[in-house]
Every structure is written in C-alpha cells, then in structure tokens.
C-alpha cells in the first residue's frame, strides 16, 4: 500500500512540475512582449494557453527522462533540493534536444524565433525540478521504511 500511494504522489508531483515549468517558460516568452503595455483579457488568455501548451508538450517529451530521474532518487533516497534542480535541468535539456519544435514552429508560423532557447528550457526545468521537490522529492525513499 505505501508503494501504491507513493506512485500516485509521484505522478501528481510530475504533473505539478510540468505545469510549473510550462508556466515559467510561458512567462519568459510573454513578459518581454507585453512589457509596457496594459494587459487585457486576450493577453491573459494567450498567456495561459501558451503555458498549458508548453506544459503539455513538456509532459509529453520529458516524461520518460523524468521517470528515470525520479526512479534514481527514490532508489537511492535522494532528498536534496540541488539534486532535483539539477535533474530538472538535465531532463529539460534532454527533452529540448530530442525534439526539434523550434525549427518546426519557425517553418510553419510567423512566430519570431526564440533566442536563448536552451537557457530558457533549462530555467523552466530547474523550476519544474524544484516544484517536484516541494511536492514529493522531500520524502523520496521514505516509503521503503514502512514496508
């Protein structure tokens, strides 16, 4: 029973981490574009749409590397804030370089190219890793003592 509960907590924490990373990347993309302007309803809707799109895409592309990082942390009882921040950055880089969404978006839309893409993705990964640590990472491996 403790293992099943832990799996549910980990899945919930991964969803929260992907949402946090997506919203951080969306904020980094939108804040320079709307700086100095008054926000209206359309800008707010577009910001959240972008954030949820990025969160969904991050969840789709980073799920397998994230599960590997979480499995390592659970197996070796890693509870360090720094481990999850670094793991989030590594998972984000793996997801960034295994997909090629930047090139695909530049070819199909009139969206301006994003400069500093890897740095932006790493920042989002670190924020996602810290969000995961806040929800589930602080108790990694404690379920083994209850079995």
Q: Which has the higher per-residue pLDDT, 136 or 86?
A: 86
Number of domains in the chain: 1
Residue 36 has pLDDT above 70, yes or no: no
Residue 142 has pLDDT above 60, yes or no: yes
The set of residues, in sequence order, having a beta carbon less than 8 Å from that of 55 and lying 6+ positions away, is: 18, 19, 21, 22, 23
pLDDT in tens, 62-79: 888 999 999 999 888 888
Phi, psi of 104 (to 5 degrees): -65, -40
Under 8 Å between Cβ of 67 and 133:
no
**What is the domain range of residue 135?**
2-145
Q: Which of 5-9, 42-46, 109-113 has the lowest mean pLDDT?
A: 109-113
The set of residues, in sequence order, having a beta carbon less than 8 Å from that of 96 and lying 6+ positions away, is: 117, 118, 121
């Amino acid at each position: 029973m403790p293992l099943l509960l832990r799996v549910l907590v980990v899945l919930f924490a991964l969803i929260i981490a992907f949402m946090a990373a997506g919203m951080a990347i969306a904020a980094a993309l939108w804040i320079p574009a709307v700086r100095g302007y008054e926000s209206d309803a359309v800008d707010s809707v577009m910001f959240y749409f972008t954030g949820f799109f990025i969160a969904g895409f991050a969840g789709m592309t980073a799920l397998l590397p994230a599960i590997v990082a979480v499995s390592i942390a659970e197996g070796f009882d890693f509870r360090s804030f720094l481990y999850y921040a670094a793991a989030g950055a590594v998972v984000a880089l793996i997801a960034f370089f295994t997909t090629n969404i930047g090139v695909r978006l530049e070819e199909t839309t009139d969206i301006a190219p994003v400069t500093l893409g890897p740095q932006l993705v790493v920042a989002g990964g670190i924020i996602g890793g810290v969000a995961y640590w806040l929800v589930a990472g602080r108790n990694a491996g404690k379920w083994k003592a209850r079995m």
